[in-house]
Chains A and B, each alone.
Chain A
Amino acid sequence: MLADEIAALLPRMRRFARALTFHREDADDLVQIAMERALGRSEQWEPGTRLDSWIFRIIKNAWIDEVRSRTRRAELFAPEEEGEHVGDDTAQAHQQRLAIQKAISLLSEEHRLVVGLVLVDGLPYKEAADVLEIPIGTLTSRLARAREALQQLLADSTPRTR
């Protein structure tokens, strides 16, 4: 059943959404919206094409449509939720993870999308271009610029004073 196949993608959907929104609750809201849209228009998925690309495209569109407008408010009300799931990794690994997530959250939306698809999820360029509905050449140059911006942000944050 399609619903089961989509449910199997939930961990990846959540991870991709976190690359887009940074805040856990916003990300899960986004995933929930995307789930509902996907299930509500499952007849639009063409069997034989990649289900993950289709779902990621729905997440992307949902993000652009809805969640973006709410982020500011969520920052007011849910600041303590960032940095949950600290688990038992070392403080340094945790710091690094936060620094990277933070840096990604500072990227432009276009750049966050390519980073989320290629570097966070690990999609091949072709699939990522497909999700974003752009030519592969555009995807490649956008990804190169996003990486540059990210390197810059991370370099700036290295002498961390927080």
Chain B
Amino acid sequence: MTYSDETLMAYADGELEPAERAAIEQAMQADPAIAEAVARHRALRQDIAAAFAGILDEPVPARLQAPAAAPVAPVVSLDAARAARKTAPAPAPAPAPAPARRRWSWPEWGALAAMLMVGVLVGKVVPQGGQPAIAGNGNQVVAQGELASALDRQVGGRDAGAVRVGVSFAARDGGYCRSFVMGASAGLACREGGQWRIPVLAEAGQQAEGAYRQAGTELPPAVLDAIDARIAGKPLDAAAEEAARARGWKGGR
């Protein structure tokens, strides 16, 4: 009598009726190959159960125990977001399903799109009564005024005034880049020739609304994609960031 692998699996999983079970037990005694197949199914089941068993004993994070309304902390820094998640009950989003995320890849849009986008958003990064925060310079867009000085000096992840600088990292081309949020816009600035060039600027804040933000999602997908495309290794930690700032953001690693 031969049995399908599915039947032997069901036997190993305790899913068969008594009569079938008895028949298979007989067959296992008569045929070592059948016994072996059953043993293999059982071993896999046990190994998998064991691999996940420890999770049941982990303390359940506070954010899952108390899904009550809590203010959403405005974090830009991934590290700060993670630290916050470890110490405080995290934001509890509205139950409504989040809107589907827009996915597109920034680099494919090219320089023309960059200029158009910046054109649309540029009004939003002009502080009231102040100097415009970005300016066109040939075919590049660079930070100036308040934005430039925040990029020069601000410690990432710290909420300080109109501009909030987020992650800093060394780019593959060797320079440094920093993400920022300013008013309704978020972008990425990369140090080039003594200026902060802005390869991407996008509307911030809408997509993470209400539901569920995880570290970094305050930045719009376009900015995250731009980071993806450039980052070499991991974001700088506090010490590396401080060192880079001290050197005036000259040169990468």
Contact = CB atoms under 8 A, between A and B. Distances in A.
A25 interface: yes
Interface string B170-214: 000000000000000000000000000000000000000001101
Interface in A83-102: 85, 87, 89, 96-97, 100-101
Interface string B6-44: 100110010100000000000000000000000011001
Interface in B47-63: 47-52, 54-58, 60-61, 63
B137 interface: no
A119 B48 contact: yes
Interface in A1-41: 7, 10-12, 14-15, 18-19, 25-26, 28-29, 31-33, 35-37, 39-41
Contacts of A144: 5-6, 9
A151 B64 CA distance: 34
B78 interface: yes
A74 interface: yes
A140 B58 contact: no
B45 A119 contact: yes
B240 interface: no
Contacts of B5: 144, 148
A118 interface: yes
Interface string A70-83: 10011011100000
B156 interface: no
A131 interface: no
Contact of B95 (A15, A36, A76, A100): A36
B92 interface: yes
> Of A14, A32, A69, A77, which is in contact with the most chain B CB atoms at under 10 Å from its CB?
A77
Nearest to B56: A11
Contacts, number: 119
B67 interface: yes
Interface residues of A, number: 53
A31 B15 contact: no
A17 B153 CA distance: 41
A74 B45 contact: no
B52 A35 contact: no
A12 B57 CA distance: 10
A14 to B, nearest CB: 6
A115 interface: yes
Nearest to B224: A73
Nearest to A12: B56
Given A31-B64, A37-B95, A140-B6, A15 B56 contact: yes
A100 B47 CA distance: 8
A141 interface: yes
A89 B54 CA distance: 10
Nearest to A140: B6
Contact of B101 (A26, A31, A69, A96): A69
Given A29-B212, A70-B217, 4 more contacts: A32-B64, A115-B48, A120-B52, A125-B15
Interface of B: 5-6, 9-10, 13, 15, 40-41, 44-45, 47-52, 54-58, 60-61, 63-65, 67, 78, 85, 90, 92-95, 97-98, 100-101, 103, 211-212, 214-217, 224, 228, 231
The 7 closest A-B pairs by CB, nearest first: A40-B95, A100-B51, A15-B55, A97-B51, A119-B48, A36-B95, A11-B56
21 contacts: A14-B64, A28-B63, A32-B92, A33-B93, A33-B211, A33-B212, A35-B67, A36-B93, A36-B95, A65-B97, A69-B101, A69-B103, A74-B214, A77-B216, A85-B55, A96-B47, A100-B47, A119-B49, A125-B13, A147-B9, A148-B5
